C-alpha cells in the first residue's frame, strides 16, 4: 500500500517534470497551466469553477504549483530537468550593491551566519579602468573544474547544466574549493546554526537545505524553484533587475518584470563570461557596466578607511 | 674465526631494550601522540572550526604535513631500489631504516588526510562512490599500492633475520619469539628459498620506483590540476619528487646518526656512509634548488597578474620570512655544510639532515598555504579572520602528534626488529672477504 | 467631586493613545492585498499577499492563516477555503465548485480575505471586486495573433475597448513579447492584432511548437486574465545534453576511455606483479614447511 502510494507520487513528480520540461513553465503570475498537453495526467482530479460558472475537472498534474509538491528523489536530482539548460545573465550597469540578492539567498537556503553564496565584489581591473560591482554566484560551468576533482560524485553536473552538491555524500576534502577559480564554494566549518525544524529535514540536493557540518555548500541556481516554474530567489529579490535567469533552450532570460531574448541581449550588449581563458565555460554571463543606472560608490571601503 | 665474526655481528645488530634515554624518548612521543588524539577528538566533536582554516585557506598544515609525509616516504624507493639497481652496495645497512621510514610515513600520510576530512566517517564513500576522474582517487590507489610494496620490501629481507633471532632466543620475551615465529618460522634459509626471495626483492625494487614516482607526482597533481597561481605548473611533478628525495635522504641521515649513537652501531654505519650520504644529499639539494629556480624564476620573469601578488607575498611580503627560511635551511645551508669533507662527518651531517627535514616541512607549508590566500577574485563578503591563516593549537597538536606517531612507529620497529639487516651484513662481509682472498 | 471626575476622564483619555501604542508595539497591523486570476478561461484562483510595515519597511509576512470568502465573510456558506501564506507572504486558492451559486448570481463577484489576529499581528482584511471577463486568442496566416477581451454584461459576453494586454511567447519565469510592442490596447471591437517577429525562436523538440499567451495584468475592472494558444512558429529545438558523454567532469562510471584504459592498465599491471610476489611468498613458505 505504502509503496503504491510512493510510486504514484513519484509518477506525479515525473509528470510534472516532463510538463515543465517540454511545455515551458508558467509565469509567476500564472502558476496554473493546463495547456501543457505533454504532461502525464496523475489520475487525481481537482474540481474547479470556470469563468462561465461551470464545474470542470482538471487533473492535479496540470496544476502548478502543486500544494504538496513532493521532493524529488536523489536520483532525479542528480539527473536534472530534461530538456533544460539554465543560464544566468548579470547586467553590471544596474548593480549598486544593495545585496538584496545575498540576503534573500542566505535566508532561503538557511545559510550559516557569516557565509555567503552570492558575493558582490567591488571590481577595478587596473588603476585607470572603471570600477563596478560584480555579483557572483556559482558559474555552473559546462566543464566544471570542481566536478572534475570530486572523488565521490558529491558534486555533479546535471543535464540541465546545474552543478549541485550532495551534502549526504560529501566527505569534506575541499578539493573542489581549491579547484574552483571563482572562489564560489564555502565550507561548513562548524555545525550550521539552523532551526530544529529545518535541521531535521532530509537533505535535498535541489534545495541545498539543510546545510551540514563538514561539507561544502554553494549556489545551486534554485532548481526547486525552476521545477515550479519560478525564478531563483536572488533574481526575484533584486529590486534593480540585475539578475536575469532563463532557459538557454528557450533563448529567453527574465528577471520577472522584463524578459529578453537571450541571444539578442548578449549580442546587443556584448555579454561576456568570467575567466573565459580558463576554459571552464560558465553558464553565467555578464553585461558590461555601460550606461549605468547608478554611479559606483563603495561605502564599505570608506567605512573601512575610517 | 669466521664463526666468531658472525656471532659478533649478530650480537651487535640484535634489537636492544630501551635504555633510560630510550624510555624517555618513547614516553615523550606517546605524550605528544595523546595530545594529538585529544585535539582530534575536539575537532571531531566541534568540526573543523577548531582549526585556523577557513573558506579561502581551505587547506592548511594538515595538507602540508600530508605532502611532507608522502615526500619523506619516497626515500624507501631511493635507498632500496635506485641504489640497489645501480649496484651500489654501501647502502645495504641503510635499506631497512629507509623502508621503515617509508612505511611509517605513508601510514601517517593516510591518517593525516583522514584528519583533514570534514566528514571522516564517510571515508568509505571513496570506495563506494569513487570517481576515477578525481586525482584524489588516483592518490588513494597509488598510496595503497605503495604501502603494500613497502611492506613487502620490508618483509622479504626480514625473513633471514627472523630465523637468526629465533635461533638466538636469548634476550627475547616469549611473546616476541611467538611473534617472530608467526612471521617467519617457515624460513629455513635453503638455497631454494634464498633464490626465490632474492628474485622477489629484485622485482619489488623495480616495481617500487614507478609507484613511488606516482605517489608523489599524483600528490603534486592535487595542486597542479587547479588553476591557482603557484600551483598551476607543469613542473610540479618533478619539483615534488626532487624535493621528496631530498627530505627523505635528509631523514635517513638523521636516523642513521641516531641509531648509530644509541645502538652503538659505529662499525656498521661508518664515516664512509655519512660521507656518501652527504654527497647524495648535496646532489639532491642542488637538484631541488634547480627545480625551485625553475618554479619561481620563470613566473617571476613574466609576472602575470594573478602570479604577481602570490610571488611578491613570497619574496618580500607576508610569507617572505618562512619562504627564505625554508629555502635556506632545506637547501643552501646543508649544501654549504656537506660540500666539505669535514662537513660530511657524522655530526655535521646529522645537523645538515635535521635542517633539511625542518626546512622541507616549512617548504611544504609554503607550497600549500600562500597560494590559497591569492584567489583570482578578491577576498570579499567573509569575516576578517578568513583573510589570514595561522594554525590553532589543535592543528599544531595534531600535526606534531602525527610526526611523533611516525617516529614512534620507527622506534618500536627498531625495538622489535634489527634495524640493520643482519643476514645481509654477514653475506656482504663474507663476499667481501672472499673477494679479498 | 466633579473635579475628580474630570481628572479621571482626562487620565483615561490621556492614557488611551499610550495604551494603543503599547498594543502597537507588540502587534503590527497586517495589510492583505487580494488579486483575482483567470487562466485560459478555465482555472480561476485568488492570490493574497500579506505585508506589514515593520521598522519603517514593508515586509512580506509568512505563516499567516487566511480565509477566503465570496460575496461576504459573515455567511458561513460563502467560505471558499483556507490557506497559509508562504515565505513570500503569498497564499493562493483555486475557486472551488461550491462557489457556483454565488458566482452565477452576479456579474461583479466580490472576494474577501480575512486573517485572524496572531501573536505578532492584528487581524487583517482585504477584498477585490471584479467584472467577469475572458480573453479569446487565435492565430492567423502570416504569423499574426488576434486577441479579444470579452466581459460579461447582462449575462452575455461582449467585447471591451481600451484594455491593455500583452501578447507574448510563454517562457519560464516570464513571457517574451512577440515583437517590440510591450502592450497593446483593445480597439472598439475589443480586439488587438500582433505580428509574430521572433524569427527562429526555439520551440519544442519535435515540431517547434510555441505557446502564445495574451495577458491582462492587474486590470482594475477585470483582474488578471490570460489565454493561451499553441503555434508551430518556432524552430525545432534539438538539444544534446551530453549527459552521458565520457568526460573528466562526468559522473562515476563515465570517465574517458583513455583514462580508464590507462588507470586500469596500470593497476592491473602493478597488482599483477604484487600477486605474483604473493605467490612467490607462498612458494617460499611451502619450501620451509
pLDDT digits (tens, 9 = 90+) for A98-139: 999 999 999 999 999 989 999 999 999 889 999 999 999 999
Window C:151-190, CB contacts with B under 8 Å? none
What residues of chain C lie within 8 A of the CB of B159, using their CB? 284
B74-97 mean pLDDT: 84
Residue A34 has what pLDDT?
36
Residue-wise pLDDT for C30-41, tens only, equals: 899 999 998 888
Least confident of A62-71, A205-214, B104-113: A62-71
The share of chain B scoring above pLDDT 90, in percent, equals: 82
Residues of B in contact with C255 (CB under 8 A): 131-133
**Cβ contact B149–C271 (<8 Å):** no
ipTM of the complex: 0.91
- Chunked into runs of 10 residues, chain C (289 residues) has average pLDDT values of 58 55 66 90 88 85 90 85 87 88 88 88 90 93 92 89 93 90 92 92 89 93 92 86 89 94 95 96 91
> Across the interface, do A49 and C172 touch by the CB < 8 Å criterion?
no
In this prediction, residue C7 carries a pLDDT of 63
More confident residue, B329 or C24: B329
Residue C289 distance to chain B (closest CA, Å)? 6
For the ranges A34-38, B186-190, B231-235, the lowest mean pLDDT is seen at A34-38
- Among chain B residues, the shortest Cα distance to A134 is held by B377
Q: What is the mean pLDDT of residues B363-387?
A: 92
CATH architecture of residue range(s) C28-129: Sandwich (2.60)
The gap from C-alpha B195 to its chain's centroid, in whole angstroms, comes to 30
The answer to whether residues C232 and C207 touch, using CB atoms and an 8 Å cutoff, is yes
- What is the per-residue pLDDT across A227-243, written as a single tens digit (0 to 9) for each? 888 899 999 999 999 99
Cβ <8 Å between B47 and A213: yes
Q: What stretch(es) of chain A map to CATH 3.30.70.20?
A: 84-287
Confidence (pTM): 0.88
| pLDDT value at residue B241 | 95
Which chain A residue lies closest to B123 (C-alpha atoms)? A171
Mean pLDDT, chain B, rounded, equals 93
> Lowest mean pLDDT: which of A28-32, B146-150, C183-187?
A28-32
Decide if pLDDT at A3 tops 80.
no
Residue of C nearest to B134 (CA): C248
CA C163 to chain centre: 23
- If 0-12 CB within 10 Å is exposed, 13-18 middle and 19+ buried, where does residue B342 land? exposed
Domain C28-129 and domain C133-231, same fold? Reply is yes
- The span from the CA of B231 to the CA of B364, in Å, is 12
What span, in angstroms and rounded, lies between the C-alpha atoms of B101 and A118? Answer: 47
> How far is it, in rounded angstroms, from Cα C40 to Cα C21?
47
> If you classify domain C133-231 with CATH, what class do you get?
mainly beta
User: What does the pLDDT read at residue A252?
Assistant: 95
The residue extents of the domains of chain C are: 28-129, 133-231, 245-270
pLDDT > 60? residue A290: yes
Pick the CATH number of A84-287 from 1.10.287.3510, 3.80.30.20, 3.40.50.720, 3.30.70.20: 3.30.70.20
Looking at the predicted structure, is the pLDDT value of residue A53 above 90?
no
Give percent of chain B with pLDDT exceeding 70.
Answer: 100
> Given this model, what pLDDT does residue A24 score?
38
Amino acid at each position: 500500500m505504502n509503496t503504491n502510494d510512493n510510486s504514484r507520487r513519484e509518477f506525479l513528480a515525473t509528470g510534472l517534470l516532463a510538463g515543465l520540461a517540454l511545455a515551458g513553465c508558467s509565469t509567476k503570475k500564472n502558476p496554473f497551466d493546463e495547456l501543457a498537453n505533454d504532461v502525464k495526467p496523475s489520475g487525481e482530479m481537482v474540481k474547479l469553477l470556470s469563468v462561465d460558472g461551470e464545474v470542470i475537472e482538471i487533473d492535479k498534474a496540470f496544476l502548478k504549483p502543486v500544494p504538496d509538491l513532493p521532493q524529488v528523489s536523489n536520483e532525479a536530482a542528480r539527473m536534472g530537468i530534461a530538456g533544460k539548460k539554465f543560464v544566468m545573465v548579470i547586467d553590471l550597469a544596474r548593480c549598486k550593491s544593495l545585496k538584496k540578492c545575498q540576503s534573500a539567498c542566505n535566508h532561503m537556503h538557511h545559510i550559516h551566519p557569516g557565509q555567503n553564496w552570492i558575493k558582490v565584489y567591488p571590481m577595478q581591473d587596473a588603476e585607470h579602468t572603471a570600477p563596478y560591482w560584480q555579483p557572483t554566484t556559482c558559474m555552473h560551468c559546462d566543464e566544471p573544474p570542481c566536478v572534475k576533482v570530486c572523488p565521490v560524485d558529491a558534486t555533479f553536473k546535471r543535464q540541465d547544466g546545474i552543478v549541485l552538491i550532495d551534502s549526504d555524500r560529501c566527505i569534506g576534502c575541499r578539493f573542489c574549493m581549491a579547484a574552483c577559480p571563482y572562489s564560489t564554494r564555502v565550507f561548513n566549518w562548524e555545525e550550521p546554526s539552523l532551526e530544529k525544524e529545518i535541521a531535521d529535514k532530509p537533505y535535498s540536493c535541489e534545495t541545498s537545505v539543510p546545510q551540514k557540518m563538514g561539507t561544502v555548500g554553494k549556489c545551486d541556481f534554485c532548481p526547486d524553484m525552476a521545477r515550479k516554474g519560478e525564478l531563483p530567489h536572488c533574481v526575484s529579490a533584486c529590486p534593480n533587475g540585475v539578475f536575469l535567469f532563463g532557459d538557454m533552450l528557450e533563448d529567453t532570460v527574465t528577471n520577472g518584470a522584463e524578459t529578453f531574448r537571450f541571444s539578442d541581449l548578449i549580442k546587443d550588449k556584448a555579454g561576456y563570461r568570467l575567466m573565459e581563458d580558463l576554459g571552464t565555460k560558465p553558464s553565467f554571463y555578464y553585461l558590461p557596466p555601460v550606461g549605468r543606472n547608478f554611479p559606483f560608490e563603495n561605502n564599505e571601503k570608506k567605512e573601512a578607511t575610517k | 674465526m669466521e664463526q666468531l665474526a658472525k656471532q659478533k655481528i649478530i650480537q651487535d645488530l640484535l634489537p636492544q631494550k630501551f635504555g633510560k634515554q630510550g624510555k624517555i624518548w618513547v614516553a615523550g612521543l606517546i605524550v605528544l601522540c595523546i595530545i594529538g588524539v585529544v585535539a582530534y577528538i575536539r575537532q571531531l566533536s566541534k568540526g573543523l572550526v577548531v582549526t585556523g582554516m577557513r573558506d579561502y585557506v581551505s587547506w592548511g598544515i594538515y595538507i602540508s604535513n600530508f605532502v611532507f609525509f608522502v615526500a619523506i616516504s619516497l626515500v624507501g624507493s631511493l635507498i632500496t631500489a635506485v641504489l640497489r639497481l645501480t649496484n651500489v652496495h654501501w647502502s645495504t645497512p641503510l635499506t631497512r631504516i629507509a623502508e621503515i621510514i617509508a612505511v611509517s610515513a605513508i601510514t601517517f600520510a593516510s591518517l593525516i588526510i583522514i584528519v583533514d576530512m570534514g566528514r571522516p566517517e564517510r571515508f568509505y564513500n571513496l570506495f563506494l562512490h569513487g570517481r576515477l576522474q578525481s586525482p584524489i582517487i588516483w592518490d588513494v590507489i597509488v598510496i595503497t599500492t605503495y604501502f603494500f610494496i613497502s611492506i613487502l620490501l620490508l618483509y622479504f629481507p626480514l625473513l633471514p633475520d627472523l630465523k637468526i633471532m629465533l635461533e638466538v632466543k636469548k634476550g627475547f620475551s616469549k611473546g616476541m619469539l611467538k611473534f617472530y615465529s608467526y612471521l617467519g618460522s617457515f624460513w629455513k634459509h635453503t638455497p631454494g628459498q634464498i633464490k626465490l626471495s632474492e628474485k622477489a626483492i629484485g622485482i619489488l625494487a623495480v616495481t617500487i620506483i614507478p609507484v613511488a614516482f606516482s605517489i608523489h607526482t599524483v600528490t603534486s597533481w592535487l595542486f597542479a590540476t587547479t588553476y591557482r597561481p603557484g600551483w598551476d605548473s607543469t613542473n610540479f611533478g618533478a619539483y615534488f619528487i626532487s624535493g621528496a628525495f631530498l627530505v627523505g635522504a635528509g631523514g635517513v641521515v638523521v636516523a642513521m646518526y641516531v641509531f648509530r649513537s644509541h645502538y652503538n652501531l659505529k662499525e656498521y654505519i661508518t664515516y664512509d656512509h655519512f660521507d656518501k650520504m652527504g654527497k647524495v644529499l648535496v646532489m639532491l639539494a642542488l637538484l631541488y634548488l634547480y627545480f625551485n629556480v625553475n618554479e619561481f624564476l620563470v613566473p617571476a620573469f613574466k609576472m602575470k597578474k594573478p602570479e604577481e601578488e602570490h610571488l611578491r607575498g613570497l619574496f618580500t611580503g607576508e610569507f617572505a620570512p618562512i619562504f627564505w627560511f625554508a629555502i635556506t635551511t632545506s637547501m643552501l645551508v646543508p649544501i654549504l655544510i656537506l660540500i666539505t669533507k669535514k662537513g660530511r662527518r657524522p655530526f655535521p651531517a646529522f645537523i645538515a639532515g635535521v635542517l633539511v627535514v625542518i626546512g622541507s616541512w616549512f617548504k611544504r607549508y609554503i607550497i600549500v598555504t600562500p597560494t590559497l590566500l591569492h584567489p583570482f577574485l578578491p577576498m570579499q563578503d567573509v569575516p576578517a579572520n578568513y583573510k589570514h591563516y595561522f594554525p590553532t593549537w589543535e592543528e599544531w597538536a595534531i600535526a606534531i602528534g602525527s610526526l611523533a606517531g611516525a617516529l614512534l612507529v620507527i622506534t618500536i620497529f627498531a625495538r622489535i626488529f634489527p634495524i640493520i639487516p643482519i643476514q645481509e651484513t654477514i653475506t656482504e662481509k663474507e663476499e667481501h672477504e672472499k673477494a679479498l682472498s | 467631586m466633579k473635579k475628580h471626575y474630570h481628572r479621571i476622564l482626562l487620565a483615561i483619555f490621556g492614557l488611551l493613545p499610550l495604551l494603543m501604542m503599547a498594543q502597537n508595539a507588540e502587534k503590527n497591523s497586517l495589510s492583505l492585498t487580494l488579486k483575482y486570476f483567470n487562466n485560459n478561461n478555465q482555472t480561476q484562483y485568488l492570490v493574497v499577499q500579506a505585508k506589514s510595515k515593520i521598522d519603517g519597511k514593508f515586509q512580506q509576512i509568512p505563516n499567516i492563516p487566511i480565509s477566503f470568502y465570496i460575496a461576504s465573510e459573515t455567511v458561513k456558506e460563502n467560505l471558499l477555503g483556507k490557506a497559509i501564506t508562504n515565505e513570500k507572504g503569498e497564499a493562493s486558492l483555486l475557486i472551488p465548485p461550491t462557489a457556483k451559486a454565488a458566482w452565477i448570481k452576479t456579474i461583479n463577484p466580490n472576494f474577501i480575505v480575512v486573517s485572524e489576529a496572531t501573536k505578532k499581528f492584528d487581524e487583517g482584511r482585504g477584498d477585490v471586486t471584479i467584472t467577469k471577463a475572458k480573453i479569446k486568442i487565435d492565430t492567423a496566416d502570416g504569423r499574426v495573433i488576434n486577441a479579444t477581451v470579452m466581459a460579461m454584461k447582462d449575462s452575455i459576453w461582449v467585447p471591451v475597448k481600451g484594455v491593455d494586454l500583452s501578447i507574448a511567447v510563454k517562457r519560464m519565469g516570464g513571457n517574451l513579447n512577440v515583437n517590440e510592442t510591450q502592450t497593446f490596447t483593445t480597439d472598439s471591437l475589443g480586439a488587438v492584432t500582433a505580428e509574430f517577429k521572433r524569427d527562429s525562436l526555439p520551440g519544442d523538440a519535435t515540431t517547434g511548437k510555441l505557446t502564445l499567451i495574451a495577458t491582462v495584468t492587474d486590470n482594475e475592472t477585470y483582474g488578471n486574465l490570460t489565454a493561451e494558444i499553441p503555434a508551430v512558429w518556432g524552430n525545432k529545438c534539438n538539444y544534446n545534453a551530453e549527459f552521458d558523454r565520457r568526460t573528466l567532469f562526468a559522473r562515476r562510471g563515465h570517465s574517458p576511455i583513455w583514462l580508464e584504459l590507462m588507470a586500469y592498465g596500470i593497476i592491473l599491471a602493478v597488482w599483477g606483479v604484487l600477486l605474483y610476489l604473493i605467490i612467490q611468498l607462498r612458494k617460499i613458505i611451502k619450501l620451509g614447511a
